[in-house]
């Protein structure tokens, strides 16, 4: 491809521009695309059926060579496409040279990347469902456990632990939706766009789409070879998913600390200290928090690569791969290890309940009690605020106050105020989406339906 040049490419330039060190990961997609292209060329009479069959057979042999580690890629051939093509020519001769008819490396790499992203989405969604199932199982097994709900990391109101965990199910369900939408936009065939203007051959793009499993074909050849929105969208969805996992990680770190002691992480998902024998460190959760920043960085990298590129293809776009590959690997590994870690959590129900009974977590329920007696909420809020301060000054919890103390702040308090408990507080939140046991039971049932792919 250097016939118009007077000099060979400089060694440093060759090393700098080569992508074979990382894009060899696309070999399966590249071979699938080439086999489909060869079949289409034969169908259209551009090459013979014999040539198409020889090409397909040789490409499958090359796939086996790569799978078995017997294929040695060359940096001088730049990328996965040229390495496979060179080996193909070694095996079938002139027919191998004819394969590139009606195709450019620009639309070739675009189809490889779309096939890769579609496969990555499928694997990601499988792993998301597995983690959702682990969350639902832990929630179901601890459906009666009451714990403090928090705002500003301060104890706020009692909630069921299952309700808290199912919040993460909902986050992951939105991640499922995002990846599903990304699939739709990745499911567009660019092959046939050539370098940028289309090709002057009578090719059958619909046939190619059918062979490669694409739902539609691209409508604009320039857009098709220069579009990496689907890569950006996967990375954006992955960043949001990692953010959700990082939030869950933070809760697991907090809950497993001696200060909270709501859960214990299984020994298989924790590490010790090199110097302090008593330590049990939640390293998996901590690493997930750290790896979230790495995935964010990959998203910012591809956004920056694409932000000023004129149409159509530019070599900058070679930088679309390493970050994507890293993000896919990081997210899949994090989802898998989280599934095992969550499934092995042991809940300390007694400690969670004791934390509910400490302090003034039922204050809102007392304000609501006064509202039920006809008092405006803002006035009720003020009364209960003073009542809380009175309890603090006396070194008591609200549950330790006598009816006389209550009446000292409002004559509306009656004996039944003493029957307000964490159980009645939780049960009172019986609206759709609330933390009441009956509602959480419905949420668990809904979650299981969604995981089976049934409509809500």
- Does residue 226 have an active-site annotation? no
- Does residue 152 have an active-site annotation? yes
Tokens of 80: 């996965």
Tokens of 374: 């006809």
Residues 248 and 175: their CA atoms lie apart, in Å, by 14
Q: Which of 237, 170, 243, 208 is nearest to 456 (CA)?
A: 170
Other CB atoms within a 10 A radius of the CB of residue 311 amount to: 12
Tokens of 179: 């990846």
The DSSP-derived string for 186-221 is H-EE-TT-TTTT--SS---HHHHHHHHT-SEE-S-H
Query: Burial level of 262, CB count in 10 A (0-12/13-18/19+)?
Result: buried
- What b/e sequence results for 37-75 when a residue is b if at least 16 CB atoms lie within 10 Å of its CB, and e otherwise? bbbbbbbeebbeeebbebbbebbeebbebbeeeebebee
- From the list 48, 123, 273, 274, the catalytic residue is 273
Residues 379 and 410: their CA atoms lie apart, in Å, by 11
- From the list 68, 152, 274, 419, the catalytic residue is 152
Residues 97 and 55: their CA atoms lie apart, in Å, by 10
The terminus-to-terminus CA distance of the chain in angstroms comes to 56
Residues 33 and 115: their CA atoms lie apart, in Å, by 9
List residues with catalytic annotation: 152, 273
């Amino acid at each position: 491809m250097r016939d118009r040049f007077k000099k060979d490419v400089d060694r440093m330039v060759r090393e700098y521009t080569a992508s074979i060190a990382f894009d060899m990961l696309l070999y399966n997609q590249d071979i699938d695309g080439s086999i489909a292209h060869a079949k289409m060329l034969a169908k259209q009479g551009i090459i013979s059926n014999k040539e198409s069959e020889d090409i397909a057979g040789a490409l499958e042999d090359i796939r086996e060579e790569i799978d078995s580690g017997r294929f040695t890629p060359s940096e001088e051939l730049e990328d996965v496409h040229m390495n496979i093509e060179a080996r193909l020519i070694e095996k079938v001769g002139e027919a191998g040279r004819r394969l590139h008819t009606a195709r450019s490396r620009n639309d070739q790499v675009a189809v490889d990347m779309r096939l890769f992203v579609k496969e990555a989405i499928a694997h990601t969604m499988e792993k998301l469902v597995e983690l959702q199932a682990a969350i639902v199982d832990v929630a179901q097994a601890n459906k009666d456990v009451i714990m403090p709900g928090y705002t500003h990391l301060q104890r706020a109101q009692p909630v069921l632990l299952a309700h808290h965990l199912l919040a993460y199910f909902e986050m992951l369900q939105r991640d499922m939706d995002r990846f599903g939408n990304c699939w739709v936009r990745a499911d567009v065939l660019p092959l046939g766009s050539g370098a940028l203007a289309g090709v002057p051959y009578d090719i059958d793009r619909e046939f190619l789409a059918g062979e490669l499993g694409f739902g539609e074909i691209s409508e604009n050849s320039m857009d098709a070879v220069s579009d990496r929105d689907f890569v950006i969208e996967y990375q954006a969805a992955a960043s949001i998913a990692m953010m959700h996992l990082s939030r869950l990680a933070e809760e697991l770190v907090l809950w497993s600390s001696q200060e909270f002691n709501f859960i214990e992480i299984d020994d298989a998902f924790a590490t010790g200290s090199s110097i302090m024998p008593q330590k049990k460190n939640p390293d998996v959760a901590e690493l997930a928090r750290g790896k979230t920043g790495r995935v964010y960085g990959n998203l910012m990298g591809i956004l920056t690569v694409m932000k000023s590129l004129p149409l159509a293809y530019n070599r900058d776009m070679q930088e679309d791969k390493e970050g994507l590959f890293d993000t896919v690997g990081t997210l899949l590994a994090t989802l898998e290890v989280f599934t095992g870690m969550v499934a092995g959590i042991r809940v300390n129900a007694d400690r969670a309940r004791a934390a509910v009974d400490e302090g003034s977590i039922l204050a809102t329920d007392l304000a609501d009690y006064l509202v039920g007696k006809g008092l405006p909420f803002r006035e009720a809020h003020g009364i209960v605020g003073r009542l809380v301060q009175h309890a603090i000054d006396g070194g008591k919890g609200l549950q330790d106050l006598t009816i006389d103390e209550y009446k000292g702040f409002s004559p509306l308090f009656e004996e039944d105020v003493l029957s307000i408990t964490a159980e009645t507080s939780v049960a009172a939140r019986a609206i759709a989406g609330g933390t009441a046991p009956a509602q959480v039971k419905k949420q668990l049932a809904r979650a299981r339906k969604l995981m089976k792919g049934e409509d809500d």
